[in-house]
């Protein structure tokens, strides 16, 4: 594949759209990000990296962290995880509380806020809040082969100060017995993992194991079992973009996960991993220009899980 040509085509198709969408401002620290930023990185199984625009600029990975906490929890906790969180698309906004009452405090899936808070609670129950973050960072740094990756403390503080909705979700689930640790302890870890700052290049590199049956093709490390890897991809495919998941799958045809920082991670099984960043969001909280760039990428590469 002529990657230079593929990237040039993507750049040309997103250029007129640059700055589209609305930057998340409910977390004040994210509101200041320049909406015209755009970066994209593709990392292939042989380690080849192809990058575009602001691919080496740090951004807040936000909900994309939920893929890494889910991977870690499937290893640390195992399948009992699914007793406290479902795996159905929610069809609702990422921070919705309504289904929790009907479903007795069991969130629909691990990639919406409520579900990710339960996954985090599982980890905090076993490891405590600081060790959960330390181990998660250690895994991500090893995967990305970059020790500089860290939590942006200013974003974490800002999230905590503006975190009433997440406090409501956690307290509500606790009233059903589905949060085991003190709410603030679990949320401290949740806010920190959402506030990890990474570049597109680091993110695509760190997620490469998900494209190769759970085994990082460069280091040879088995990060999750092959079965767990397929399941994580399945959950990303059906639930990775909240109430935009069906449309994303229709347009892109690959498992992915978006975050309100404007990042989207996409897995192309047996090919590689892609990370794109553009802060302007559509109504469901998925990067508007990022999705367009991914549409252009799958068109140019022919990548799809349906071929
Ligand atoms: N940290 C954000 C929150 O809890 C994550 C949301 C997202 O990226 N969709 O609201």
Q: For residue 3, how far is its CA from the centre of ligand 1 (angstroms)?
A: 32
Answer yes or no: are the C-beta atoms of 300 and 4 closer than 8 Å.
Answer: no
Q: For residue 285, how far is its CA from the centre of ligand 1 (angstroms)?
A: 9
Question: For ligand 1, what atom is nearest to the CA of residue 94?
Answer: 9
Give the tens place of pLDDT for each residue, 197-240.
999 999 999 999 999 999 999 999 999 999 999 999 999 999 99
Which domains, from first to last, does the chain contain?
3-301 (3.40.710.10)
Distance, in Å, from the CA atom of 240 to the CA atom of 266, rounded to the nearest integer, reads 10
Q: For residue 194, how far is its CA from the centre of ligand 1 (angstroms)?
A: 7
pLDDT above 70 covers a percentage of the chain that reads: 100
Q: Whose CA is nearest to atom 3 of ligand 1?
A: 113
Distance, in Å, from the CA atom of 129 to the CA atom of 229, rounded to the nearest integer, reads 25
Question: For ligand 1, what atom is nearest to the CA of residue 166?
Answer: 4
Residue-by-residue pLDDT tens, the chain, 307 positions: 899 999 999 999 999 999 999 999 999 999 999 999 999 999 999 999 999 999 999 999 999 999 999 999 999 999 999 999 999 999 898 999 999 998 999 999 999 999 999 999 999 999 999 999 999 999 999 999 999 999 999 999 999 999 999 999 999 999 999 999 999 999 999 999 999 999 999 999 999 999 999 999 999 999 999 999 999 999 999 999 999 999 999 999 999 999 999 999 999 999 999 999 999 999 999 999 999 999 999 999 999 999 9
Q: For residue 127, how far is its CA from the centre of ligand 1 (angstroms)?
A: 23
Question: For ligand 1, what atom is nearest to the CA of residue 259?
Answer: 8
Which residue ranges are tagged as binding site for substrate?
A: 63, 113, 159, 166, 190, 242, 260
ipTM higher than 0.95?
A: yes
SS3 19: coil
Name residue 59's beta-bridge partners: 198
């Amino acid at each position: 594949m002529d990657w230079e040509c593929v990237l040039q085509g993507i750049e040309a198709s997103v250029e007129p759209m640059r700055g589209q969408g609305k930057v998340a401002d409910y977390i004040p620290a994210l509101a200041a990000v320049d909406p015209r930023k755009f970066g994209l990185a593709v990392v292939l199984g042989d380690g080849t990296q192809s990058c575009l625009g602001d691919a080496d600029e740090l951004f807040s990975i936000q909900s994309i962290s939920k893929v890494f906490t889910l991977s870690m929890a499937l290893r640390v906790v195992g399948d009992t995880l699914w007793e406290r969180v479902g795996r159905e698309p929610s069809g609702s906004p990422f921070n919705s509380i309504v289904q929790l009452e009907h479903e007795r405090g069991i969130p629909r899936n691990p990639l919406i806020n409520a579900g990710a808070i339960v996954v985090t609670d599982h980890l905090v129950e076993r490891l405590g809040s600081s060790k959960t973050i330390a181990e998660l960072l250690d895994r991500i740094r090893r995967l990305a082969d970059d020790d500089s990756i860290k939590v942006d403390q200013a974003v974490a503080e800002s999230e905590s100060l503006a975190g009433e909705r997440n406090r409501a979700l956690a307290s509500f689930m606790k009233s059903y017995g589905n949060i085991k640790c003190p709410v603030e302890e679990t949320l401290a870890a949740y806010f920190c993992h959402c506030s990890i700052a990474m570049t597109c290049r680091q993110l695509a590199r760190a997620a490469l194991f998900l494209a190769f049956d759970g085994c990082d093709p460069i280091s040879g490390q088995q990060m999750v079992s092959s079965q767990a890897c397929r399941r994580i991809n399945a959950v990303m495919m059906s639930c990775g973009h909240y109430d935009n998941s069906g449309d994303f799958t229709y347009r892109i045809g690959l498992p992915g996960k978006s975050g309100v920082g404007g990042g989207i991670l996409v897995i192309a099984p047996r090919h590689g991993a892609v990370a794109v960043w553009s802060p302007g969001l559509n109504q469901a909280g998925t990067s508007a220009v990022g999705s367009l760039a991914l549409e252009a990428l799958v068109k140019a590469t022919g990548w799809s899980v349906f071929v």
